[in-house]
Amino acid sequence: MQMISSRIVPFIDSQSLTLSNAREALFRDERGGFLLYLCDGEFSRAAEERLIPLGVREALIWLNEPPQDHGSFWR
């Protein structure tokens, strides 16, 4: 598996109203498929992590998102 790109997305935590950072990383597997890794906040037991399989079109959309749209795959 190869990491293609990663980024940090700032957000406001809805429970504590504090500024936090989410992490997103796009990976390409051996078969040519894509996986998007999402992790909200710091790495801890309470952090929510997700793996989302993406097609080529979705991976290109994620890579080319303008900064104001970063984090759109969390919705």
Task: Tell me the two tokens of residue 10.
Answer: 């700032």
Instruction: Name residue 52's beta-bridge partners.
Output: 36
Task: Tell me the two tokens of residue 37.
Answer: 């890794």
**Residues 25-75 pLDDT 10s:** 999 988 989 999 988 766 555 667 889 999 999 999 989 988 777 666 665
pTM: 0.75
One-letter-per-residue 3-state SS of 34-72: EEEEEECCCCCCCCCEEEEEECHHHHHHHHCCCHHHCCH
pLDDT bracket for residue 18 (50, 70, 90): confident
pLDDT value, residue 67: 77
pLDDT value, residue 44: 52
Task: Tell me the two tokens of residue 17.
Answer: 């109203």
Give me the sign of the Cα torsion angle 72, 20, 10, 3.
negative
- Which is it for strands 19-28 and 2-12: parallel, antiparallel or unpaired? antiparallel
pLDDT bracket for residue 9 (50, 70, 90): confident
